[in-house]
Amino acid sequence: MNIRTDLAMEAHDIARRESKGIIDGITSSTEQHNNVKITRVEILTDEAGMKIGKEKGSYVTLEAPYLRYSLNDYEDAVKLISYELIKMSDVSKDDIVLVAGLGNRAITPDALGCRVIDKLLVTRHMQEFIDAPTGNVCAVAPGVLGTTGIETSDIIKGVTEKLSPSLIIAVDALAAADISRVSTTIQLADTGIQPGAGIGNNRKGLNRDTLGVKVIAIGVPTVIDAATISKVPIPEELAPLTVTTKDIDLVIERMSKTVANGINLALHRELTLNEIEELTA
């Protein structure tokens, strides 16, 4: 499989197409909520995971092609992210949740994680002062190896050891195989993030093995490998070329707001979306 994708649903589709059949140990189903299509891929065994290059676990993908243009679709997406996140996680209101915004703030298509962090309702430092029905949320944007000289996983592990969160939510920009999924899709996975995944290609994974605590990954594909789409063979020196859509500035703004408020709504369950938007304005 030479086509690069961080989406389990795409990897599954490609594998089924290549093998002209079903893949043992993987189930897949879809639902439609208004304009948002939900695809659930369950990888039941490690062996099945190896066939499509993904870890054993649950992957939920929301496709919302009109998110940018419709306030209704935005609200649907926020609520669906929140709902799926609550199902995947298993934390009570007082448990500390650490949200890690991965990626490089200076590269717009890689800035999704950092921009989600900017829009979170962070409350851990105010627990003694606030009497609101909020969760216990903190956040970190560790930067990328190329600009910090430090493995992302080392920074998050260091912080995790200081704070002992009950759950980590890792947000990152992803690569897709199909250009129609770039900037329109959100994937949640209870597997954390595997080594080499994401735009920044984190060298080490972020998951229960490396961090000692459950990690839910939320990702949005914002790029596609040029080699994946090009109709002509790409010269070797261009092989690492990665492309994104022209309107990426607007996409990152809208998508980071969508993901941030999905997380906010899940972790501060007793607040409404309106209240959250006022508090984070």
Structure tokens at 153: 């996983």
Using the structure block, give the residue that is written with the tokens 């954390």.
Answer: 192
- The one among 143, 219, 221, 262 contacting a second copy by CB under 8 A: 143
Count CA atoms within 13 Å of residue 56 on its CB side: 8
Check binding of 247 to a second copy (CB under 8 A). yes
Structure tokens at 258: 């969508």
Minimum distance between the CB of residue 60 and a second copy, rounded to whole angstroms?
A: 24
- The one among 16, 124, 195, 273 contacting a second copy by CB under 8 A: 124
d(CA 59, CA 241): 27
Q: Which of 54, 57, 61, 152 lies closest to 110 in space, CA to CA?
A: 152
Q: Which amino acid is at 246?
A: K
Minimum distance between the CB of residue 27 and a second copy, rounded to whole angstroms?
A: 27
Check binding of 243 to a second copy (CB under 8 A). yes
| CB nearer a second copy, residue 36 or residue 159 | 159
Check binding of 37 to a second copy (CB under 8 A). no
- The one among 46, 50, 158, 269 contacting a second copy by CB under 8 A: 158
Q: Which amino acid is at 79?
A: K
Stretch of 19-27, 39-47, 242-250, 258-266 lying at the interface with a second copy (CB under 8 A): 242-250
Check binding of 142 to a second copy (CB under 8 A). yes
* Conformational region of residue 73, where left means phi above 0, alpha means psi within -120 to 50, and beta covers everything else: alpha
- The one among 42, 75, 95, 118 contacting a second copy by CB under 8 A: 118
Q: Which amino acid is at 195?
A: P
Structure tokens at 176: 């897709």
Check binding of 106 to a second copy (CB under 8 A). yes
Check binding of 109 to a second copy (CB under 8 A). yes
CB 28 within 8 A of CB 12: yes
| CB nearer a second copy, residue 87 or residue 269 | 269
Neighbours of 45 (CB within 10 A): 12
d(CA 191, CA 206): 9
Check binding of 278 to a second copy (CB under 8 A). yes
Check binding of 13 to a second copy (CB under 8 A). no
Stretch of 36-44, 75-83, 220-228, 264-272 lying at the interface with a second copy (CB under 8 A): 220-228
Q: Which of 273, 252, 255, 251 lies closest to 264 in space, CA to CA?
A: 273
Stretch of 16-24, 159-167, 187-195, 213-221 lying at the interface with a second copy (CB under 8 A): 159-167
Strands 185-189 and 57-63: antiparallel
Check binding of 223 to a second copy (CB under 8 A). yes
Check binding of 148 to a second copy (CB under 8 A). yes
The one-character DSSP state at 183 is: T
By the criterion CB under 8 A, which residues form the site for a second copy? Answer: 71, 105-110, 117-118, 122-126, 137-143, 145-151, 154-155, 157-163, 179-180, 199, 223-224, 226, 229-231, 234-235, 238, 241-250, 278, 281
